[in-house]
Chains A and B, each alone.
Chain A
Amino acid sequence: MDVGLIFKIAAVGILVAVINILLSRSGRDDQALMVTLAALVVVLALVVQEISDLFELIRTLFGL
């Protein structure tokens, strides 16, 4: 769990933002949606492990 992950996600977000604008400018809105969905899947794959670690830590520490 390091700070780099947050900046990695931010980089993906900015990249997808630029790609979306390019695609929507050239009229291919459906592909822009596809790119957004793909980016969301990538980001969720990165983050879901961290969130389960957090709630696991809370669960073990407080004996829930």
Chain B
Amino acid sequence: MDIIIKALVVGICASILTLLIKKTNPEISTVLALCACAFIGGITVKVFSSVYEVLKLVEAGTGISSAYTTPIIKCTGIGIAAKLGAEVCKDSGQAALAASIEICGACCALYVALPLIKTLLRMIGELT
């Protein structure tokens, strides 16, 4: 479980260095924060790959068809990417950009979940 420690140390060091450079050239400090984000994101996504395998086992074991689990996984991926992008824009002071990225992420997630909603409606139709 040293991953959380590594992420913590990198995050704190990067934020201190960002403060150091912010006064004279804020753009390099933003790029530095983005690079630290990429490093920590790289570690967390590797951890998620083992969670992903367990999800595959559950899917194979209980016989739930992958049509139900793939939208969930895609929605989490879209959520993570949209959140990361929006927060970077917010850090560099562009709140409108961040809001538009969040809206785009929500629409993409909804688009991915459309087949799920269709099967749900069909099931309800069959019940009545």
Contacts and interface: CB of A to CB of B under 8 A. Distances in A.
A13 B21 CA distance: 6
A62 B21 contact: no
Contacts of B48: 61
A50 B32 contact: no
A1 B28 contact: no
Nearest to B21: A13
Contacts of A7: 13, 17
A58 B81 contact: yes
Q: Is the interface of A mostly helix, strand, loop or mixed?
A: helix
A62 B73 contact: yes
7 contacts: A6-B14, A9-B31, A13-B17, A13-B21, A13-B32, A51-B34, A55-B81
Interface of B: 10, 13-14, 17, 20-21, 23-25, 27-29, 31-32, 34-39, 41-42, 45-46, 48-49, 52, 70, 73-74, 76-78, 80-81
Given A3-B39, A61-B52, 7 more contacts: A10-B21, A13-B25, A14-B20, A17-B21, A43-B31, A61-B45, A64-B77
A43 B33 CA distance: 12
